[in-house]
């Protein structure tokens, strides 16, 4: 399942600024599905509206306009999976927001920056950005931002396998959101609590949390958040072996994501559908979906997503006993891994190919 780095709430001052430093950085990160951060998703409210404040100085207005534009671009880059470009945009935006003394805008930028660092597995940098964002939210008594920052921190804990800390942090966020009647924050927090619960293996409880989260997300018209929660719900159905509801739920997520050009959730929904259809022997439908996935990856010019598509093709052909075609797709995936200079992925693919050839 893929976590969504965003922001939930609770009482002020629940997590000290330094509370996310020790165990997380020592533990090895694991990404939550291709969603994983997948999960993720910035604040649902238009970020330009959140940041815009009138300035007296024309220079200040120019700096704000440029910073707002950079942050908006950064959000789009993150949604498309370009975490490195997101970081570049955010760092420049931070400089400008710092120059005009806008703490709230800096806090929002740190949140997006943290998500991008997590996607790149740069955990120390992500931790620093999260701590800074939470400190700003507390200094400015910005309860809404505290909700979302705490959710992001909870997601960070979850990625480190720190389930107890993740659950406590998100519960804190949910309490704040409920206290200030922030429907958006309640939906996000419930969805993330579902993620924690699913990670602990209680899929029935996770499903109930996701279904509750959907009620709040639909009230606010948060389509991207709804698609993310639907994907989480699909993951839970899949893990519990309920393929009928799995397919229906992923299908709904894919449609919403496609309508909103939310490529991250669209790709994730396709992956879930491929797995579910394959599990029930609907190979033709699985191949149709993989064709859509590969076309989307090429449209985005995203080599990493192309690599994932080739690997999925290889695994599906291998499962059908078509080892020659599977080998071809493994080889294409390996070439892309080399192009991306991802030696770890290359080794994993070579290992899969070798094992297949040995046991065919």
Give 32's pLDDT tier (boundaries 50, 70, 90).
very low
pLDDT in tens, 310-321: 999 999 999 999
d(C-alpha 53, C-alpha 93), whole Å: 15
Give 141's pLDDT tier (boundaries 50, 70, 90).
confident
pLDDT in tens, 186-216: 999 999 999 999 999 999 999 999 999 999 9
| Homologous superfamily of 144-220 | Tetratricopeptide repeat domain (1.25.40.10)
CB 41 within 8 A of CB 228: yes
Ranges of each domain in the chain = 61-141, 144-220, 222-301, 304-359
> For residue 59, what pLDDT is reported?
56
Per CATH, the number for 222-301 is 1.25.40.10
Q: What is the pTM of this model?
A: 0.72
Does position 355 have pLDDT exceeding 90, yes or no? Answer: yes
Give 160's pLDDT tier (boundaries 50, 70, 90).
confident
> For residue 184, what pLDDT is reported?
95
Mean pLDDT rounded to a whole number for the chain: 85
> For residue 210, what pLDDT is reported?
98
pLDDT in tens, 258-300: 999 999 999 999 999 999 999 999 999 999 999 999 999 999 9
DSSP string, 44-71: SS-HHHHH----S-HHHHHHHHHHHHHH
Torsion of CA 34, 85, 160, 104, to 10 degrees: -120
Helices (H), 220-342: 223-239, 243-259, 263-279, 283-300, 303-319, 323-339
Structure-token match 């990856």, residue found: 297
Q: Which CATH architecture has domain 61-141?
A: Alpha Horseshoe (1.25)
Distances (CA, A) of 300 to 54, 89, 130, 293, 303: 36, 19, 29, 11, 9
């Amino acid at each position: 399942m893929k976590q969504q780095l965003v922001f939930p709430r609770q009482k002020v001052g629940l997590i000290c600024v330094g509370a996310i430093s020790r165990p997380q950085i020592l533990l090895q990160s694991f990404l939550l599905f291709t969603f994983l951060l997948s999960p993720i998703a910035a604040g649902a409210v238009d970020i330009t509206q959140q940041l815009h404040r009138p300035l007296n100085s024309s220079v200040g207005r120019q700096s704000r306009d440029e910073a707002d534009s950079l942050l908006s671009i950064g959000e789009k880059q993150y949604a498309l999976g370009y975490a490195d470009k997101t970081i570049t945009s955010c760092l420049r935006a931070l400089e400008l927001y710092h120059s005009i003394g806008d703490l709230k805008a800096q806090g929002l930028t740190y949140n997006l920056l943290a998500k991008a660092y997590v996607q790149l597995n740069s955990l120390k940098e992500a931790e620093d950005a999260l701590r800074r964002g939470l400190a700003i939210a507390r200094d400015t008594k910005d309860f809404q931002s505290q909700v979302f920052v705490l959710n992001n921190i909870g997601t960070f804990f979850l990625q480190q396998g720190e389930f107890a800390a993740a659950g406590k942090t998100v519960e804190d966020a949910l309490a704040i959101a409920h206290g200030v009647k922030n429907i958006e924050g309640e939906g996000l927090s419930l969805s993330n609590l579902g993620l924690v619960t699913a990670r602990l293996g209680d899929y029935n409880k996770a499903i109930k949390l996701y279904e509750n989260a959907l009620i709040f997300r639909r009230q606010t018209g948060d389509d991207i958040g709804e698609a993310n929660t639907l994907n989480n719900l699909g993951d839970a159905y899949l893990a519990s072996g309920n393929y009928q509801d799995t397919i229906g739920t992923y299908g709904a997520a894919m449609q919403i994501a496609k309508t909103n050009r939310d490529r991250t959730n669209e790709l994730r929904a396709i992956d879930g559908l491929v797995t579910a259809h394959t599990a029930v022997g609907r190979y033709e439908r699985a191949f149709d979906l993989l064709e859509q996935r590969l076309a989307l990856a090429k449209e985005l010019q995203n080599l990493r997503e192309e690599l994932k598509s080739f690997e999925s093709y290889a695994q599906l052909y291998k499962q059908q006993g078509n080892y020659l075609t599977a080998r071809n797709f493994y080889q294409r995936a390996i070439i892309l891994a080399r192009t991306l200079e991802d030696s770890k992925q290359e080794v994993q693919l070579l290992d899969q190919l070798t094992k297949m050839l040995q046991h065919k």
